[in-house]
Structure 1
Amino acid sequence: MLGKGYVYMIITLLMTTMIGESSMAERIKITVGAEKGDIVGSDNRALQSAVDYVAGLGGGTVNIGAGIYLMKDSLHLRSNVTLIGQGEKTILRKSDGFRSVLATDGDYGQEEITPADPSGFEIGIGVTIADNSSGGFHTTVATIIAQDGDNFVINKPLNADCMVARGAYVQNTFPIISGYYIENSRIENIVIEGNKDKNEYLNGCRGAGIFLYRAKNILMKSCIIREYNGDGISFQQSNDIVVENCISYNNSSLGFHPGSGSQRPIIRNCYSYNNGSDGLFLCWRVKNGLFEGNEIRNNGQFGISIG
C-alpha cells in the first residue's frame, strides 16, 4: 500500500509534467514590417531572417505586416513555422527578371555557373539554370552564395548537364515562397504577386507562386496567387497538403498543381480562373485526395485534368 507522501510525490510529478508540456506549447511570435516590427525591412531578406530565427527556436509564428515586399529570392519556409499576413495588404512581389546564356557548359553536380552577361546577377538572388533539353525536374533552382569575377557559386548542384550547344541559360526565376523537405507549417493571408510581364517562365516541377517539394502536413489558407509566370500553387511528392480558401488567377500556367506522387491532398473552397493552362491539374500517382467546393472557370486549357 502506497503511503500518503509517495502519492503526493506522484501527483506533484504529474502536475509538473503537465505544466511543462503546457509551457512547451507556447511558441515564439515575431513581426516583420516595412516600417515597424521586431524585424524591419521590405524584402525577402527581412522575411527570411524572421523565418530562420523562429525555426531555430523550434518553430512559432511570423506575422508579416502590411506592405509590398520585394522578392529577389524565395522565402524559404522552414518546418514548424506559421506565416500570417494581413490579407490583401501583405504582398510578396517578384522582382523584375533578367536572363543570360551560359558562357561555359554546366556539368551535372557542378555548383558554379558562368553567365555570358553577368549584369544583374549578385550574391543572394535566386536563379534557375537549364538548357533546351533539361526541363521539368532536371531544371535547377538555387541561390547564388558567392562570386569570383563572372563566375557564380550556387548552393545546390546542377540536376543535369546544361550545355552551351543546347542553349544553356541562367535566369532569376524562383518560387516566391518555397518549402523543401519541411513539415507542420502554415501559410495564411498572404498575396503572392508574380510580376509575370517582367519575368521568364518557370515550370511547375520546380517552381510556382507557392512551391513545395517533399513536404508533409502543410496548410495554405486564404492566400491569393496572381500574375506568376508559371503555376499558381504547385507541390511535388508532398503528402497531406491542405489548400483552403485560396485564389489562383492570371498565372501563365496551371492554377493548382498537386504534383507527382503527392498523397492525400485536399483542395477545398478555392478559386482558379484566367490561368494560362488547366485550372486544376492532378499529376501522376496523386492518390487519395479530396477536391470539393472549388470554382474553376475561364482557364486557358482544361478546367480539371487528371494526369
Structure 2
Amino acid sequence: MMAKIRIGVSVVVVVAGVVLGLMIKAMAAQAPDIEVFASDVPVSIPVTNPAQLDYLDGLADNLKKINTSCKQKCINVKKRGVSASGKDVRVNLQKIIDEASKSQSTVYLPAGTYGIKGVLHLRNNVTLIGDGEKTVLRQLQSNKELVSMENVRNVTIYNVKLDQSKVKHTTRESNHTIRIMNSAAIQMSKLVIKGSVSKSQQEYGDAIYVAQKKLYSRKTEQIVAKNIVIDGASRNGIAVVGGQNMLFTDITLKNMSHKLNAAIDIEPDTGAEVRNIKFHNVEVKNENIHVWTETGTINNIVLDKVRALEGRLIIKGKVNNVLFTNGSAPYVTIEVEKDETLRPKNVKLLNSTFSNTKLKEVVFMSGENIMIENCIIKGGTEYGVRDVGIKGYFVMKNTQVYNSKGDGVFLYRAKHVELIGNEVSENKNYGVMLGNTSRSTVDTVVISGKNQFYNNGRDEIQIRLPKSKIIIGPEEQIEGF
C-alpha cells in the first residue's frame, strides 16, 4: 500500500531496499554520503522471566491439596455446639480453630450464618471449609477486620461467604474482610466476599489485603486466590502492599465504586517490595487497576486475561517489568511519579484491546522501554497513543490504531522508535506524528514490516525530528519525500 510521508528538512534519512527504486537514487545523488541499510529486527524489551511464570502458573499445585470434605481429621462445628443462627460465635469458633491448628485438622462450617464480633484468627495448618454461599461468616462489630492470617503458614479457606457489609465502619482504613500479613502457603478458593460499605469518600477497608511488615521475619509468599467473587469494598478490592510469588485467578470484582481507590491495587508500603505477582482471568466491572508506587518497589507483574470494563489501567512510579496480555481496558497510563527516578520500566502491552471515546487519549506514556504488540487501540478525543516523555525504546508492532479524533500516534521523546507491521487509519488528524516539538529527543526511527497508513485526516505520517535517523525497511512502499 502506498502511503504519503512528509519529512522535515533537518532530518537525516537512511533508506534501504529496492522497492523505493529511483527515489533512493535521486536522494543519493543529492547526498552521496548517506548510509543505506535497513532494520527489521524488533527490540527485545524484557518484561517477564519465563521460568518464574511457569512457577506462578503451577503455584496452586505446589501447595497442599485442599480437603474439601469433612471425613478425616475434621471438626464439624455444629457438633461442637456452635450455632449458625447469626449470633456471635467468635469465641467458641476461635477455640475450635486453635485446637485444629495443633492437630493440623479441617474445620467444617455447615450451612448457616456465623456471627463474628471482632476478628477471627486463622492459625497454622488449618483448613476452614463451608457449604458455599450458604455458609456465611458475618462481621457484627464495626471498625474491625473479619478474618486475619498473621505470621502463619499452611492455611486454607474454602467454599465460604464472608460478609463485611452489615456494619457501619467509622474509623481506620484497615477494616479488611481478609487480612494476610507475613504469612506463607495461603490458599483462598471458592469465596464470595461482600466487602465493607462506605457511602462517603471515607476509606474503611479492602476486601483482600496482603502485606509484609517488619514486625515478623516470615515472608509473605506463596499466596493463591482462586474462584472468588468480590462484591464491593469501601477501599480496594484486592490490595497487595508487600510480598512475593502470588497467583490470583478466576476472579470477578464488581460494585467497586469508591473513586479514591481501585479494584486491584498493587502498591507497596514505604520501603517494601512487591515481586512476582500474576493475575489471570480477572474481570473488573468498574474502577481502576493500579500498579504503582512512590516509596516502594514493584518487580515482575503479569496481568493475563484481565478485563477492565470501565476503569483505567495505571502503571506508575518505581515499577519494573509489567506484562498486560490478552486483556482489555478503556485507558492505559504508564507514567512517572513525581520525579525521573520514579519511572516505570520495561512495560509490554500484548494481544489486548484498549478503547474509549471520552478521554483525551487511549494510551498515555512517560515510562522507559515500552512495547505495544498485536493490540487494538481505538478512539481518544485527541490521541490514540500519546508519548509525553518516554525514555529508551518504544516499539509498536502488528497493532491497529484507528478512530482517534486527533492523531493516531504521537511520539517525540523515546530515543529509539520502531514501527513494525502496524495499521494506522481513520484518524482525523495525522496517522503518525513523530516530533513536532523542540523537546524531541528521538535519535532513530525504524519503519518496517509492511506498515499500512491510510485514510487519516492529514498526512499519513508527519516527521519533524531534528538530526534524527529514519530507517525504512525494504518492504515499505512510501511516497512523498
TM-score (norm 2): 0.34
Residue of structure 1 equivalent to 2:229: 35
Letter in 1 for 2:229: E
Residue of structure 2 equivalent to 1:59: 275
**In 2 relative to 1, CA 176–58 (structure 1 residues): closer, same or farther, beyond 3 Å?**
closer
- 1:92: how far off? 3.7
Query: 4+ runs of 1 displaced by more than 6 Å?
Result: 22-25, 36-40
Q: What pairs with 1:129-148 in structure 2 (closer than 5 Å)?
A: none
Residue of structure 2 equivalent to 1:188: 325
Post-superposition CA distance 1:278-297 (Å, at most 9, x none): 111112x3222211111000
Retained in 1: the 8 A contact 2:291–2:319? Answer: no
Instruction: Select which of 196, 209, 228 maps to 2:332.
Output: 209
Residue of structure 1 equivalent to 2:454: none
Letter in 2 for 1:83: V
Post-superposition CA distance 1:194-233 (Å, at most 9, x none): xxxxxxxxxxxxxx53333222111111221111512111
**In 2 relative to 1, CA 230–23 (structure 1 residues): closer, same or farther, beyond 3 Å?**
closer
How far apart, in 2, do the equivalents of 1:225 and 1:279 lie? 13
Residue of structure 2 equivalent to 1:232: 362
Residue of structure 2 equivalent to 1:257: 386
- 1:257: how far off? 1.9
- 1:76: how far off? 3.0
- 1:61: how far off? 2.9
Instruction: Select which of 394, 416, 431 maps to 1:303.
Output: 431
Post-superposition CA distance 1:148-201 (Å, at most 9, x none): xxxxxxxxxxxxxxxxxxxxxxxxxxx5423223111221122112xxxxxxxx
Letter in 1 for 2:291: H
Instruction: Select which of 283, 299, 319 maps to 1:80.
Output: 299
Residue of structure 2 equivalent to 1:218: 347
- 1:33: how far off? 6.3
Residue of structure 2 equivalent to 1:148: none
TM-score (norm 1): 0.51
1:280 aligns with 2:403: no
Retained in 2: the 8 A contact 1:29–1:63? Answer: no
Letter in 1 for 2:275: G
**In 2 relative to 1, CA 25–47 (structure 1 residues): closer, same or farther, beyond 3 Å?**
same
Q: What pairs with 1:6-17 in structure 2 (closer than 5 Å)?
A: none
Instruction: Kindly indicate which of the two structures has a greater share of residues assigned to helix.
Output: 1
Retained in 2: the 8 A contact 1:235–1:262? Answer: no
Partner SS, residue 371 of structure 2:
strand
Q: What pairs with 1:14-29 in structure 2 (closer than 5 Å)?
A: 26=55
How far apart, in 1, do the equivalents of 2:319 and 2:405 lie? 29
Residue of structure 1 equivalent to 2:314: 177
- 1:31: how far off? 4.9
How far apart, in 2, do the equivalents of 1:261 and 1:234 lie? 10
- 1:251: how far off? 1.9
**In 2 relative to 1, CA 217–247 (structure 1 residues): closer, same or farther, beyond 3 Å?**
same
Post-superposition CA distance 1:86-115 (Å, at most 9, x none): 26xx23413xxxxxxxxxxxxxxxxxxxxx
Q: What pairs with 1:263-274 in structure 2 (closer than 5 Å)?
A: 263-274=392-403
Post-superposition CA distance 1:255-275 (Å, at most 9, x none): 112332522111111110001
Letter in 2 for 1:65: N
How far apart, in 1, do the equivalents of 2:432 and 2:53 lie? 43
How far apart, in 1, do the equivalents of 2:333 and 2:228 lie? 22
**In 2 relative to 1, CA 57–187 (structure 1 residues): closer, same or farther, beyond 3 Å?**
same
The unaligned stretches of length 5 or more in structure 1 are 1-21, 95-174, 194-207
**Larger Rg: 1 or 2?**
2
How far apart, in 2, do the equivalents of 1:229 and 1:33 lie? 33
Post-superposition CA distance 1:119-163 (Å, at most 9, x none): xxxxxxxxxxxxxxxxxxxxxxxxxxxxxxxxxxxxxxxxxxxxx
Q: Report the identity percentage.
A: 17
